[in-house]
Copies of this chain bind each other. A is one copy, B any other.
Amino acid sequence: MSRHSADVIVRSLVDDGWVEVIEPTGSVVGRPARRYRFHATVGHVMGVDVGGHKVLALITDLDGNVVASARHLVQPEDEPSIRLAAMDATIAECLETAAMTATDIWALTVGVTGPVDSTGRTSLFSPMPGWSGVDPIGHLSDRFSCPIQVENDCKLAAMAERWRGVAQDADDIVYVLAGMRTGAALIIEGKVRRGFGGAAGEIGWLLPVRWQRSVTHLESCGSLPSGIEPNEVLGWVLAACRDGDQEAQTAVKRYVKDLAVGAAALVLALDPQVVVLGGGVSRSADVILDQFNAELEKLSMRPPEVRVSIFGDESVALGAVRLGIDEVDAHSFGERLLQPVAPRRVAG
């Protein structure tokens, strides 16, 4: 295509509000190439974190600016039907807040706990009862015609850290999601590793690295108020530890000691530049960071830098949004032409 023809087409896209000019940055010798990108607000993506304790949905534009969010609480032991209903309600509420319908969403990503197989199921393992048989893509494809992806929560959280979080400068990252459950994901040469069967990062499965027992120290803390909700245990014990409660301090010490063993296993396997600590503990990281660093130094050969996530509990949903934007980019600038409406999902 001649420069002139391309110009005519691109100008009409600019006039119609589809694309915008990227202004050249820095000094340029000669006439700079004209560069364009989608106008961020012509399309939107949705990321949904379906966790043990909550469902969180975010809608963002193609730059990742959040335009709406919604949240529903669930329980780890909830049946799949209850969790799916909470997911549906959260998605509907988020769309309503944004004054959108499902056809306005160009890509949808669902984050779940457990390794995700090639069909979007957690067939190998899910900590949530019955969930390993659930097909989130099938469940959502009656409403959404856009591409739908399912990915492991830790892998999405790790993507979020490299995108907008505390590890933007690092290519080799071990991400540890430490809350009332402990999980991990690996970024190597800037790419999240899925592994041959989607199960990379599942070091916590191995009893000797102690992640499975680590949280029991918090749950059995003697000074815990009776009747405390399970999802409030971590926050309570960390706060009590900071306030000088001796039983809480012992519980936290044991918890961090065990947390560091699994983290050290990943550090020794990968020798990453950075370890990112995310999940529930990241909001009270001041209580544990020194000890965590000290344990990691004791256990590993070359202790990496440890950084604490600043995303609170939104990291998984943010990573889901990022994966959706990647999907839009792949569709729009790949072999397929941009559709005038949201791209349709390729039948799975």
Residues of chain A having any CB pair with chain B under 8 Å? 115, 124-125, 172, 186, 188-189, 193-206, 208-210, 261, 264-266, 268-273, 299-302, 304
Contact = CB atoms under 8 A, between A and B. Distances in A.
Given A172-B196, A206-B264, 13 more contacts: A124-B302, A186-B269, A186-B270, A188-B188, A188-B193, A196-B302, A199-B268, A199-B302, A202-B271, A202-B301, A208-B209, A208-B261, A208-B265
B301 A196 contact: no
A273 B197 CA distance: 8
Chain copies in complex: 2
A273 B264 CA distance: 23
A165 to B, nearest CB: 18
A265 B304 contact: no
- Residue from the set A172, A188, A271, A299 with the largest chain B CB neighbour count within 10 Å: A271
Shortest Cβ-Cβ A-B pairs, 9 listed: A195-B271, A199-B271, A200-B271, A196-B273, A197-B302, A208-B208, A269-B269, A199-B302, A203-B268
A209 B300 CA distance: 13
A284 to B, nearest CB: 26
B199 A301 contact: yes
Nearest to A271: B195
Nearest to A191: B189
Given A208-B208, A209-B208, A302-B124, A265 B203 contact: yes
Given A301-B115, A301-B125, A265 B206 contact: yes
Contacts of A300: 205-206
A35 B261 CA distance: 53
B271 A269 contact: no
A269 B201 contact: yes
Nearest to A196: B273
A220 to B, nearest CB: 21
Contacts of A200: 269-271
Nearest to A171: B196
B271 A196 contact: yes
Contacts of A194: 271
